[in-house]
Structure 1
Amino acid sequence: MRTMTALALILASVSAANAAGARSNESFIEQVGAYNEATINQKNGNNNQATSQTGQDNRVLTSQVNKLARGQNNSGNVQVGKDNFASTLQTNTAPNADATDVRFRNNSFSAQYGRQNTALAKQEGGKNNQGTLQVGDMNVSEVIQSNSSVTSPSASPVGGANNAETKQFGKENQAAVSQKSADGNADGEFQPGHSNASMSLQVGNRNEVATEQTSVGRKGEGVRNTAATVQFGNDNLASTKQGGGAAGSFGDTPEEQRANFTNASIIGQSGAKNVAEVEQANGANTQALFQRGTKNAASIEQSTQTFGTGNASNNALTSQRGSKNLATVSQSVAVPLALGNNNSLISQVGGSNVVNAAQSVGQQATAGNNNQVSMQVGQGNAIQLVQATGANVTNTSFTAQYGIHNTATVVQK
């Protein structure tokens, strides 16, 4: 609490100094215990850091470089325990050669309670924000953020910022977050990058989560990526990858258009040895996954083409409860000129269930929609589904199985 108060006072003093035209570096270090180390390197002014260490053999490494006249790097670290390590590397630079007077900031905070926890944060550019909380032993967190988008958070409701929040409670949990936002140029037209947002919560032991988000303007604007992963138990694994460019605008209002190139993902796992992998590209993809039990595995891949107009949305919801369930969903949409949607819902209750579903819309489809619903209750069930559409053709399938040793195969083209 004292550390946060001190950091607030530092920021206030720097703001006053900046108002007077000064560029200062501010640092606060509090150490209670033995053999604690704090190494601080600050360059060019407008760098602020606060460190509090209580315990033994804790280490903090902070390096801050500010290359903007009105930019700012802010870092805070709290360590309570033994043998904890925190590293923060911040470099504040302009998004491009014509935007050197922006007020972009990098903000980083980590808190570690326990033993041998590691928190790594690297921020480049500006508009990067990250917070890490570790409670337990031998937890590892790594956050890498890069932002060279000129879009100002105050100029847009979605802004162009990278935001990451990581919380780990237990032992030997690992969390990795990579976020990139950047502007681009296609055929002489400016294409902005947009925001990435990530939240990871792990409670238990030996859980792993990896989140990779990319919003880069190329042939279209960068997508808005949002991901949340929650894991309870032991030995759970979750991986989410989001990226791509907008397929084009669709909707009567800017809010509707923004919604049509947003990637959103939610993963919830409870139990042991659950595996979930999600990969989304181009937007607007929407995915929700819930697993409860042991040895569940779910893989969802959604993709849309980067050319053409329309929202080209993929939607997938998978819920598994029990043990040894497997669900694989792959959806692909090609929308040269018009709207195209894939929708899939899979729910399994019991054990040893298997579902494979694949949906695709052809390259020349002017409007194509696939809809698939699978529900299994019992043991030993298996469902395989393949759907493909042509121009103005819609495939719809509903399959429900109750009992044991059931098999269903559906192919539509």
Structure 2
Amino acid sequence: MSDQGNPDPTTMATDPTPSTTGPSARRRSLFKANGVPRSPREARASRIALDARERKRKREQLIMGKRFRSHFEDYEESDSEAEHEATPTEIQEINRGLAGSDEQVAKALKLLSARLVSPSAALEKFILAGECVPHLMRLIHSPNPEIQLQATWCLTNIAAGSEALCHKVLDAVPYLIQSLNPLNPDLADQAGWCLGNIAAEGPAFREHLVANGVVTPLVDLLTTSPNSQLTQTACFALSNLARNPGAPMQQLFDAGICGRLVKHLSQHESQDVASEVFWVLTYLTAGELQYAHRLVEQDVIPHLVAQLDKFADQGSAAIPLIRTLGNLSAIDDATTSRLLDHPEIIQQLLYWVAKSPARTVKKESLWVLSNITAGTKAHVNKVLKQDGAAVLTEVMSHDSYDLRREVSLGKREKLTGKMIRWVL
């Protein structure tokens, strides 16, 4: 699973010009050509269908670790559609506009960025074999800052597509890395988002980014940016860069990622920032043990503990925090002991198991508990002292198979017979 998750790591952002109103993007095929529903019932049914599709798309993005940026006008949720699949006529209009005046270019880029969220076959062909990417490669060097930003926006949504589409963006990587300048936070945010989408595509793409020198500029954004949105985007890109295989762990730690992530947890009040930091930590702790140990030695555990209350009732937003705790508990018994020096960890895990309405949160919490109870007798006793047996027995008695299976994993290896009886 990717892992961003995104926070939520998979949410779609708005236009470069901030917009605080407007509905989710909807595809024109669900409506009449003029965008006006024939009846309120039809409009409602169409919105329900679109919402279901949007949830499915977000789940797929969570798995891919990619994020589109949605683009829609400010308008009341009534009878018009802001986004739909590009028609051949629109593609011709985009192609002409990209070669026109600044005003025509800006209009074409805005239309293109919207249509890229759900690209038609004709639009994909235009990107893969037409003049789209050459136009964008020229426009990202425009002296007009708005055109520069919008062109980078389009590259971001191209990179969020298929592997073939993402590959078309690779020539822009040196420019994107050069744009990671906190003095221009809007452009740096957009460039970081695009780089994050590229990194999510796979090991070969990550290697290409590393070879072009992406690591240090991305990590530096964690220090130099006072902009929380830019920090979140940098973490999104870094979490995808830290995926195995092909994660440049040594370079990331040499660039100082460890201390900077811990500092954000200790100083930043934003839950959105913390959630993105957790996703980076999830991947860093899932790699080679030496790097997980370095995080432990930087006192990451107390800073994770300090976040438990904030995420206690945040649903799936807590998943990367729980996974980080699970990865740390799997390192060795000594690290598990350091975790259990903070009794609130067990308290919170048991709370999530017993009370969370989010099934994934329950399952992830049970996995961490199974890691802990597979440790020493002292570890098992610390779970028992916090009424862990009652909570786990309740799961075994009433929950579904996959949750019961997570509990039963706790019987492995070093569990006492007493605990085995309680969890089976």
TM-score, normalised to structure 2, is 0.24
* Structure with the larger RCO, 1 or 2 (CA within 8 Å, 6+ apart): 2
TM-score, normalised to structure 1, is 0.24
